[in-house]
Amino acid sequence: MPAISQKGMAMPQSPIRKLVPFAEDAKKRGIKVFHLNIGQPDIKTPQIALDAVKNNTIDVLAYSRSEGSEEYRVKISKYYAKNDIHVNADDILVTTGGSEALLFTFGSIMDAGDEVIIPEPFYANYNGFSTASGVNVVPVVSKIENNFALPPIEDFEKLITSRTKAILICNPGNPTGYLYSKEEIKKLSSIVKKHDLFLVADEVYREFAYDGNEHYSVMLEEGLEEHAIMIDSVSKRYSMCGARIGCIVSKNKDVIATTLKFAQARLSPPTYAQMASEAALETPQRYFDDVIEEYVARRNTLINKLQEIDGVKVAKPKGAFYCIAELPVANSDDFAQWLLEKFDHNGATIMVAPAGGFYSSEGLGLNQVRIAYVLKEEDLITSVSILKEALKQYNAS
């Protein structure tokens, strides 16, 4: 039989999706599964975006430009200007989701064997994008005790080698919910300038900053123009995960010109979805105010309820819609599977993402899970009571 590539075999499974078959089996057995495992918001997509696709009159669904339609990129630049980020349409390359933006960025700035330093725990698919690009992830550990704040800058510095090409951060963080302060971004800026590295900031949750904290983008840093690359997406901002539209933003002309070559090889981002995303930019501020209010309420309920369970430790998120919870179990992979295979509480169970897959250091996160608070408050309350009962039974068995 012809052999699968080493790279293919090394590709990690998504920790968020690998338990799906067990969840499907549980559902077939009539068990209600509360999905806390995946960042699929239940928030309604803005009507204006849906209508843009429904009401259009095109009769040829053509390719768009590889870098994304001109009109859309001009409107994105205006949206950023409202957030004090001053970029031109030429500094923006539209991609098929933030996922493709990350892949093109990795391909454009790193060769096989190069290294990217990433604070862990991090968005699990960074492992997949790195493997696909032949790049080595060098993790720097952030800790639940500090709410997953930026690790000391000396910890980064110690890890820099001649193969280091970039530091990658996610702000606000998935899976931590941590929002980096201006001071933390400034520290990262100085280190990337000193060592001539790229600073890639995944800002797909930029709109989700809570408690009066302001999101501080890498694009706001003066003197970082050649180093900063921002990754963005409409998926979470407008609850449009299925549109598959994101973008790369950078003032570095070589970066954009190189990502364009990757973009040309895949021809174009989806045309209908660009129309929807362009229309979504007209979404009134009220929509975001309501969404933020909803997520803050959910977060508060979830965190309060989790903290009531003996042996559970949780870092309070300042942004995005995830938290990492430390549980009184030795192996959260086993626990998460057990929840779906062997347990129910009044006919219901929960699906969580074991946190091991969000770390690159072997053995870290084994007693942690990631919880996405993308469900209504009453469902979150039920989910936490299921978790409480499950921990009791699991630890007694």
Ligand X SMILES: Cc1ncc(COP(=O)(O)O)c(C=O)c1O
Q: Is 216 in the site for ligand X (CB under 6 A)?
A: no
Q: Is 99 in the site for ligand X (CB under 6 A)?
A: yes
The minimum distance between CB 123 and ligand X, in angstroms, equals: 4
Which residue in 33, 37, 39, 230 binds ligand X (CB under 6 A)? 39
The minimum distance between CB 343 and ligand X, in angstroms, equals: 27
Report d(CA 202, CA 233) in Å as an integer. Answer: 9
The minimum distance between CB 328 and ligand X, in angstroms, equals: 27
Binding to ligand X by CB under 6 A, coded x per residue (else -) over 158-177, reads ------------x---x---
DSSP notation for 195-209: HT-EEEEE-TTTT-B
Q: Copy the structure tokens of residue 141.
A: 């550990």
In this chain, which stretch among 94-102, 187-195, 335-343, 376-384 interacts with ligand X, using CB under 6 A? 94-102
Which residue in 67, 120, 184, 202 binds ligand X (CB under 6 A)? 202
In this chain, which stretch among 97-105, 108-116, 188-196, 292-300 interacts with ligand X, using CB under 6 A? 97-105
Which residues, in sequence order, are bridge partners of residue 94? 247
Encode burial over 238-248: b for 16+ CB neighbours within 10 A, e otherwise: bbbbebbbbbb
- Identify which of residues 33 and 372 has a Cβ nearer to ligand X in the complex: 372
DSSP notation for 290-328: HHHHHHHHHHHHHHHHHHTSTT-EEPPPSBTTEEEEE-S
Q: How far is CA 208 from CA 211, 297, 313, in A?
A: 10, 13, 23
How far from each other are the two terminal CA atoms of the chain, in whole angstroms?
Answer: 44
Q: Residues 244 to 283: which contact ligand X by CB under 6 A?
A: 246
The minimum distance between CB 245 and ligand X, in angstroms, equals: 7
- Identify which of residues 39 and 354 has a Cβ nearer to ligand X in the complex: 39
Q: CB nearest ligand X: which residue? A: 97
In this chain, which stretch among 92-100, 148-156, 189-197, 367-375 interacts with ligand X, using CB under 6 A? 92-100
- Identify which of residues 13 and 331 has a Cβ nearer to ligand X in the complex: 13
Which residue in 97, 139, 177, 317 binds ligand X (CB under 6 A)? 97
The minimum distance between CB 102 and ligand X, in angstroms, equals: 6
Report d(CA 205, CA 117) in Å as an integer. Answer: 20
94 contacts 245 by C-beta, under 8 angstroms: yes
Tokens 């989790």 belong to which residue? Answer: 306
Binding to ligand X by CB under 6 A, coded x per residue (else -) over 218-247, reads ---------------x-x-----x----x-
How many chain residues bind ligand X (CB under 6 A)?
Answer: 13
- Identify which of residues 233 and 239 has a Cβ nearer to ligand X in the complex: 233
List Cβ neighbours of 23 (8 Å cut-off, separation of 6 or more): 33, 35, 340, 351
Q: How far is CA 313 from CA 13, 55, 326, 386, in A?
A: 27, 49, 5, 17
* Chain residues in the site for ligand X (CB under 6 A): 39, 97-99, 123, 170, 174, 202, 204, 233, 235, 241, 246
